[in-house]
Amino acid sequence: MALSRDVRPADWFLGKIERGNPSTRLDDVHPGDEAWSLGNRVRPLVHGATYFAELFERIEATVEGDLIFFTDWQGDADERLTGEPGSEVVDVLGRADERGVDVRGLVWRSHSAALGFTAGENLRLGEDLQKRGAEALLDMRVRHGGSHHQKMLVIRHHDDSSRDVAYVGGIDLCHSRRDDADHHGDPQALDSMADEYGETPPWHDIQAAISGPAVHDVETVFRERWEDPTPLSRSPFFWLRDKILRLDLSPDPLPEQALPPPPVDGGTHAVQLLRTYPDLRLNRDYPFAQGGERSVARGYTKALTKARRLVYVEDQYLWGRHIGDAFVQALGAHPDLHVLAVLPLHPDLDGMSRVPEMLGRRRAMLEMMRVAPDRVSVYGIENRAGTPVYVHAKCCLIDDTWATIGSDNFNRRSWTHDSELSAVVVDTDPDDQRRYARSLRLELAREHLDRDADDPMDDCADTDGMYAAFEESAARLDAWYAAGRVGPKPTGRLRRLEPPRLGPVQRVLALAPYLLMHDPDGRPRSLKRSDGF
C-alpha cells in the first residue's frame, strides 16, 4: 500500500476548535489545540467473553480507595462475566463496593419494554446495585426518544496510577454479549432477538482496553455527565416510582479527579475520544455540551477525506443518506479507494421495525454503489453451523492508520441524537505507524475467513488483497448454498449482502418511521438548515 510514511496525529484527529464544543473540559489537560493524548497502549478486546473475563479479573483486584465508574445502555444484574456463579455483574460490582471501592454507575433508564426496550432490566440493575451500596443511578437526561448509548468503564487505583484502565466500545453489561470466536452465543441470551438468530444468538462485538493518559479523558467524560445538575428525569411518574422504591435520585459529589496516569512504557498510541450529545433544546442543555457535540460525525468526516485505499467497517447498521454522502465523497474523490463493510445478515428484531431498518441500509448502500459499484462490498457473517452472527461491533479502520472502536453506529441517530463515545487510535510507532490498525484488521479478517490462529494472513497483508480475499470467500460460500449445500461446506463465514429489495409502497410507508423513530436528527435547527455537523 503506497502511502506516506509520516503519520501525524494532528493530520487525522480533530483539534479542540474542530471538536466544536467550547463547553467541555475534556481537552483542558491537553496542550495548545491538541484534543488527544500520547503515550497510551490500546488493546482491542474482540468478543464479549474476552472483555468480560478481563473485566472480572480487574474489578476483583480492586481494593479500598480505588474508583470504578461505568455507564451502560442496557444492563442485566445477573449476567455472568465468566459464566460461573459469583461472577454476576451485580455481585462483582457489589463486592467491590463492600471492599471500600467507590463504585458509581450511570445506567440509561430506557424506554418501555412494550416498545422493545429494557427498562425493567435496567431498573433492576440500578436497584440491586444500590441495595449493595454502590451508587448506580438511572439517567434519563436525553432527547425525546433518545438514549444514553455510551458503554464505558474506568478503574483508577489510589496507590498506582500506572495500573489504571478504561474500557470503551460497544459491549453492554447485559445478556447475549458473552460470546467468543466460535459464536455459539451467550447461554444467558436475550429472548427478543429475531428468529433467524436462534435461541442463543451468536454475537460479534469489540471493546477497547486503554492504558495511559487517555484513561483520564474517559474518566472526564463520566464526570461531566455525573456532575450535570439537571434532574435525572423530568417525569413525575418516574420520580414518584423511584421515591416509592427508595432509589437514589441525586448524584453524590465525586472525589477530586487525580492527574492523568503516566505514559505507558513503550506506549505509542495517540488516543482521541469522539462523542455525540444531542441538542436538548428547551433551555435544558447539557452544561458540558451546549447545543450538543457532534465530534463523532466530524471525526469520521475528517478521516474519510484522507482515505486513499481501504475503509474497513464493522457496524450494526450503516444507514441513511448522510452516511452514504460521507462515503460517496471519498469514493468519488479517490478512484483507488475501496469500502469493505461487515454488517448483520438480518435486523435484530422481528415485527414492524424491520422494513424501516432495511430502508436505512438500502439508502446508504445504493448511494455508495452508484458512485463506485466495483469498489464497495458489504457482507454478513455466520458461524460454522450456518447460524447468522449478529454484528454489534462499531469499528472503522482507514488505510491501516485511523482506527476507532466505540458505541456509535454509522447512522444519523448516532451522529446527532443519542449520547455516544468512541476511542480513536493513531499509532506513532516510528518503526511501524500502521501496526495497531493493521493488526486489528488482520485479526478480524482471520475470524471472518475462518483461518487458524497461526495463519500469517499473507494474502490479506495488503488491503487490496483483503478486499479480494473477502470477495472470493463469500462467493464460494454463496455458491455452495445456491447449489443446495452439496458437498463439504467451504471454509469461511462471509455472505455477500445486496441492497435490500423494497417495493415502492414499502419504501413510502417505511420512510416516516425510519426518519422519526429509527434514525432521528438531534442537531440544532441552524445545523439542520445548513445540513452540517
Q: What is the pLDDT of residues 447-490, one digit of tens each?
A: 999 999 999 999 999 989 999 999 999 999 999 999 999 999 99
Q: What is the pTM for the complete model shown?
A: 0.97
Percent of the chain at pLDDT above 90? 89
181-235: pLDDT as tens digits = 999 999 999 878 999 999 999 999 999 999 999 999 999 999 999 999 999 998 8
- DSSP 3-state percent helix, strand, coil across the chain (nearest 5): 35, 20, 45
Specify the range with the lowest mean pLDDT, choosing from 79-93, 164-178, 189-203: 189-203
Query: How far is the C-alpha of 233 from the C-alpha of 212, rounded, in Å?
Result: 35
Dihedral sign from CA coordinates of 416, 18, 433, 2: positive
The residues that bridge with 211 in the sheet, in sequence order, are: 41
154 vs 48: CA distance, rounded Å: 17
Residue 72, sorted as left (phi over 0), alpha (psi -120 to 50) or beta, turns out to be: beta
Question: For the residues 502-522, what does the mean pLDDT come to?
Answer: 94
Region 50-67 average pLDDT: 98
Place of cell 455508495: 368
Strand intervals (E) in 470-524:
494-496
**Domains defined for the chain, CATH in brackets:** 32-267 (3.30.870.10), 272-530 (3.30.870.10)
The pLDDT of residue 33 = 97
The pLDDT-based confidence of 249 (bands split at 50, 70, 90) is confident
The mean pLDDT value of the chain amounts to 95
The C-alpha cell 463439504 sits at 488
Give every CB contact of residue 485 below 8 A, 6+ residues apart in sequence. Answer: none
Question: Tell me, what DSSP letter sits at residue 499?
Answer: P
The separation between CA 96 and the C-alpha centre of its own chain, rounded to angstroms, equals 26
pLDDT at 331 over 90: yes
> Would you say residue 12 has pLDDT above 60?
yes
User: Which pLDDT band, with edges at 50, 70 and 90, does 281 fall under?
Assistant: confident
- Choice between 248 and 170, residue whose per-residue pLDDT is larger: 170
pLDDT of residue 5: 57
Give dist(CA 83, CA 80) in Å, integer: 5
Band of the pLDDT at 113, cuts 50, 70, 90? Answer: confident
* Identity of residue 474: A
Residue-level pLDDT at 282: 66
